[in-house]
């Protein structure tokens, strides 16, 4: 089991030189372990094993750092840090208390992780497998690689791993392996995460001297480690083809203890215990330096973990919709995963949505779904956030087109010349349509509706529904055609009905010439007079002469009734009287029909003929009787 103490601020502490923190450290910790107040930025976190047992961080842009509040969590020789950005927590191993603790990255304090079932004794270095929801650590006291579930349900020991003196672990999720630096056997070793066994990596050509901490560069296919006793950084190829030492320019390597890699930036970070600094260099060894950690208090810093702003890996996509009133759905997009082997953590903790129309944000549209009410080009911006900051990706726009309503036009029934015609138009399938609807009537000499209409009328539209034109009285006989045109609005396309749409035409027929004048009928109740007046009634009906037909019917009904009353009571006359009585009743009904309001409002011949239908059978029977 390896623990580290400090004899003075500049001591070169090596494995095996166990020391304890003086009581003054606890007092200083209370003064300096304040909540983080630095602005969000990509950061590096580390554990301090010196006078101040603490967790510190610094911004990678050189703007300084701070101490992290760990109130409520055990802090005793912290050895190793790992981050779960999805929950906003940082974890560390307590070498002085054989526990695993955590704290909120926002400075809200922390606690201890339940690791029931997992061996722990002198833990050194931690790493998180986010897919499995596990935290792993190297265990010096038990020579094991141990793990515990992040949900606190306990843990165990990784089968197939046979470490001697592990110091720092790194998980290669792509390969399904965990690597560690082994100070006991002098190797860089690995084991399969499925427990199927492991081995030692070939590191021919590389220095290995009290290794402390490992990190993987997935881009270069290498694993790096810090040589505590040799003041160097070394590497080996993951394919077992050997390795070498990194030549570093511009940065100090002084008892390095733990490292982390940003493969995207091509940069390596490490902790210098001898001069209490955090240093960096490019992975090719160039452009090195020392990170400004103003505000933080590195004191025997050890092991590192990088927290980066989420990185977009695939823009969100919009599905559904197509027209106003239809729901759109925005996916989260894809975000780059944690590079746990590099000790780089960047997964989002949360995502938020903002819908946009024609390149502008839609106020209040901040859910994953949105129902547009107007046409336009819609996209969604998804912002992923973790403790380091936020990043956004915007979907490709989708077009929400105006709705295409439908028009159906129905003309009124055919009429004789002098009758009125109108059209009924049904506007349907619109999106709360407004605007105007124009009716047009095209004359009989305009078969393709290309000439100016003989009648035009415009009415306001207030939604889908039925609209009627005004009545028009044509002055020329022939076939007339109604058309309709909807103007459209912001949400609806304009649409017009066709000239030859079914039901849109009406025939206006010539009025037949009136019959030649007769000498008139005798003004009495004889059978001959009644027959004469029946003929006059038929002529009035055919001529569509409402007033004349009504008067004839009234008078004829009176004459038929009088004749009925005067008939002799013979069998033959009783039969004729019944016929006459029935005819009189039918004629009175007919007269009342002709005098009704609908009949007065339309002098159309078809109206008169329809009203006369109940009379025809009685008239024919009456004729047969009177003959």
Provide the β-strand partners of residue 496: 485
pLDDT of residue 436: 97
Tell me: the pLDDT tens digits for 55-67?
999 999 999 999 9
Instruction: Yes or no: say if 426 and 437 are a contact pair by the CB < 8 Å rule.
Output: no
**Structure confidence at residue 609 (pLDDT):** 56
**Between the CA of residue 8 and those of 213, 278, 602, what are the distances in Å?**
23, 19, 116
- pLDDT > 90 fraction of the chain, expressed in percent and rounded: 70
Indicate if the pLDDT at residue 338 is higher than 50: yes
What residues contact 484, with CB distance under 8 A and at least 6 apart?
407, 409, 423, 425, 437, 438, 439, 440, 496, 497
The residues that bridge with 177 in the sheet, in sequence order, are 172, 192
The band of 39, judged by pLDDT with boundaries at 50, 70 and 90, is: very low
> Burial code of 500-538, b = ≥16 C-beta within 10 A, e = fewer?
ebeebbbebeeeeeeeeeeeebeeebeeebbebbbebbb
Query: Rounded to 5 degrees, what angle do the CA atoms 92, 177, 110 make?
Result: 15
Between CA 177 and CA 201 the distance in angstroms is 12
- DSSP string spanning 436-462? EEEEEEE-TT-TTS-SPPSEEEEEE--
Task: Assign 618 a pLDDT band (cuts: 50, 70, 90).
Answer: low
Q: How would DSSP label each residue in 536-548? A: HHHHHHHTT-HHH
Residue 464 has pLDDT above 60, yes or no: yes
- Whether 483 shows a pLDDT value over 70: the answer reads yes
Q: Phi-psi bin for 98: left (phi > 0), alpha (psi -120 to 50), beta?
A: left
Least confidently predicted of 411-420, 438-447, 605-614: 605-614
176-195 average pLDDT score = 95
What pLDDT is recorded for position 325?
Answer: 87
Q: Give the pLDDT confidence score for residue 555 in this predicted structure.
A: 65
How crowded is residue 592: how many other Cβ atoms within 10 Å of its Cβ? 14
Helices and strands, number each (H, E), in the chain: 6, 44
The pLDDT mean for the chain works out to 85
Q: At what angle do helices 571-594 and 605-626 cross, to 10 degrees?
A: 170
187-216 mean pLDDT: 96
567 neighbors 573 (Cβ within 8 angstroms)? yes
pLDDT band at 282 (very low <50, low <70, confident <90, very high): very high
pLDDT at 38: 29
- Order the strands of the 65-67 sheet from edge to edge: 65-67, 54-59, 43-48, 301-307, 344-345
Q: Residue 611, SS3? A: helix
Neighbours of 341 (CB within 10 A): 26
Q: How far apart are the C-alpha atoms of 329 and 258, rounded to whole Å?
A: 45
Exposure of 12 in the CB half-sphere (CA atoms within 13 A)? 8
- Average pLDDT for residues 537-556, to the nearest whole number? 60
Both tokens of 133, joined, read: 């929801």
What Å distances lie between residue 556 and 566, 585, 595, CA to CA?
15, 11, 15
Q: How far apart are the C-alpha atoms of 625 and 458, rounded to whole Å?
A: 58
Token code pair at residue 131: 């897919």
Q: Which two tokens stand for residue 622?
A: 């009456």
Q: 10 Å Cβ neighbour count for 20? A: 12
The answer, yes or no, to whether residue 583 has pLDDT greater than 70, is no
């Amino acid at each position: 089991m390896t623990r580290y103490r400090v004899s003075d601020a500049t001591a070169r502490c090596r494995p095996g030189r166990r020391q304890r923190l003086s009581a003054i450290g606890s007092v200083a910790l209370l003064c300096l372990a304040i909540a983080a107040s630095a602005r969000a930025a990509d950061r590096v976190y580390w554990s301090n094993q010196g006078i101040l047992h603490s967790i510190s961080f610094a911004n990678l842009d050189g703007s300084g750092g701070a101490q992290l509040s760990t109130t409520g969590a055990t802090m005793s020789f912290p050895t190793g840090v790992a981050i779960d950005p999805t929950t906003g927590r940082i974890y560390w191993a307590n070498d002085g208390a054989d526990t695993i603790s955590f704290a909120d990255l926002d400075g809200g304090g922390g606690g201890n992780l339940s690791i029931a079932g997992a061996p722990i004794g002198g833990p050194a270095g931690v790493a998180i497998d986010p897919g499995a929801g596990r935290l792993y650590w190297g265990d010096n006291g038990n020579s094991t690689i141990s793990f515990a579930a992040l949900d606190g349900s306990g843990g165990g020991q990784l089968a197939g791993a046979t470490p001697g003196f592990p110091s720092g672990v790194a998980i290669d999720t792509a390969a399904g392996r965990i690597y560690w630096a082994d100070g006991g056997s002098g190797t860089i070793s690995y084991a399969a995460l499925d427990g199927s066994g492991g081995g030692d990596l070939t590191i021919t050509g590389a220095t290995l001297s009290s290794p402390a901490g490992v990190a993987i560069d997935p881009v270069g296919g290498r694993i790096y480690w810090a040589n505590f006793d040799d003041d160097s950084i070394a590497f080996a190829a993951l394919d077992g083809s050997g390795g070498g030492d990194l030549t570093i320019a511009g940065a100090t390597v002084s008892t390095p203890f733990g490292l982390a890699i940003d493969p995207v930036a091509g940069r390596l970070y490490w902790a210098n215990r001898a001069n209490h600094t955090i240093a960096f260099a490019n992975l090719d060894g160039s452009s090195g330096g020392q990170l400004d950690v103003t505000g933080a208090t590195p004191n025997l810093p050890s092991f590192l973990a990088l927290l980066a702003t989420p990185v977009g890996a695939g823009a969100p996509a919009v599905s559904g919709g197509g027209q106003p009133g239809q729901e759109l759905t925005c996916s989260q997009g894809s975000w780059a995963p944690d590079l746990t082997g590099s000790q780089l953590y960047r997964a989002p903790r949360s995502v938020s949505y903002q819908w946009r129309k024609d390149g502008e944000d839609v106020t209040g549209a901040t859910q994953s779904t949105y129902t547009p009410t107007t046409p336009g080009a819609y996209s969604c911006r998804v912002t992923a956030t973790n403790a380091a900051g936020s990043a956004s990706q915007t979907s490709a726009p989708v077009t929400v087109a105006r709705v295409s309503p439908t028009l159906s036009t129905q003309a009124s029934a055919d009429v004789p010349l002098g009758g009125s015609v109108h059209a009924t138009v049904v506007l349907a399938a619109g999106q709360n349509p407004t605007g105007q609807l124009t009716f047009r009537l095209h004359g009989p000499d305009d078969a393709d509706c290309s000439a100016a209409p003989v009648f035009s009328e415009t009415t306001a539209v207030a939604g889908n529904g039925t609209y009627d034109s005004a009545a028009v009285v044509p002055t020329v006989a022939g076939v007339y055609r109604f058309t309709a045109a909807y103007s459209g609005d912001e949400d609806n396309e304009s649409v017009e009905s066709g000239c030859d749409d079914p039901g849109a035409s009406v025939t206006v027929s010539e009025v037949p010439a009136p019959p030649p004048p007769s000498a008139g009928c005798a003004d009495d109740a004889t059978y001959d007079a009644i027959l004469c007046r029946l003929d006059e009634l038929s002529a009035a009906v055919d001529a569509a002469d409402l007033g004349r037909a009504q008067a004839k019917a009234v008078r004829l009904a009176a004459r038929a009734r009088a004749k009925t009353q005067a008939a002799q009571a013979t069998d033959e006359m009783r039969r004729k009287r019944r016929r006459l009585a029935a005819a009189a009743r039918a004629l009175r009904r007919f007269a009342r029909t002709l005098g009704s309001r609908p009949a007065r409002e339309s002098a159309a011949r078809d109206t008169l003929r329809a009203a006369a239908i109940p009379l025809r059978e009685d008239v024919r029977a009456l004729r047969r009787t009177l003959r």
